[in-house]
Amino acid sequence: DAGVIQSPRHEVTEMGQEVTLRCKPISGHNSLFWYRQTMMRGLELLIYFNNNVPIDDSGMPEDRFSAKMPNASFSTLKIQPSEPRDSAVYFCASSFEGYGFPDTEAFFGQGTRLTVV
């Protein structure tokens, strides 16, 4: 299995531009998570999808951030407009949740390092 695939690995953009981060979860997994890692706030959960439906977006910092999961094999995290304080490493992770069974552990992608100048 190729694991969770994120693209791009690095992104440098100018303040005010739209940025789209992409994630392909592990095949067969039905839950997807976006996390953000910064020096100031550490690793924090942004949003959690189950069966392509956003279940918990309480970690999304503000309206400039949006996430979608149009199908089981693809998710995007969009920032519009981007600001320098959005500079961070964004991780996508996936797992499998079965009814009545403990969830499998989450496997993380390699992350996208976003720099907003």
Partner 1 sequence: AQKVTQAQTEISVVEKEDVTLDCVYETRDTTYYLFWYKQPPSGELVFLIRRNSFDEQNEISGRYSWNFQKSTSSFNFTITASQVVDSAVYFCALSRGLTGGGNKLTFGTGTQLKVEL
Cβ closer to partner 1: 16 or 28?
28
- CB of 111 vs partner 1, minimal distance in Å: 6
**Interacting residues toward partner 1 by CB under 8 A:** 31, 33, 35, 42-45, 48, 50, 55-56, 89, 91, 93, 95, 97, 100-103, 105-111, 113
Closest CA to 87 of 20, 43, 36: 36
Cβ closer to partner 1: 7 or 97?
97
- CB of 93 vs partner 1, minimal distance in Å: 7
- CB of 48 vs partner 1, minimal distance in Å: 6
Distance, in Å, from the CA atom of 53 to the CA atom of 61, rounded to the nearest integer, reads 19
Cβ closer to partner 1: 10 or 15?
10
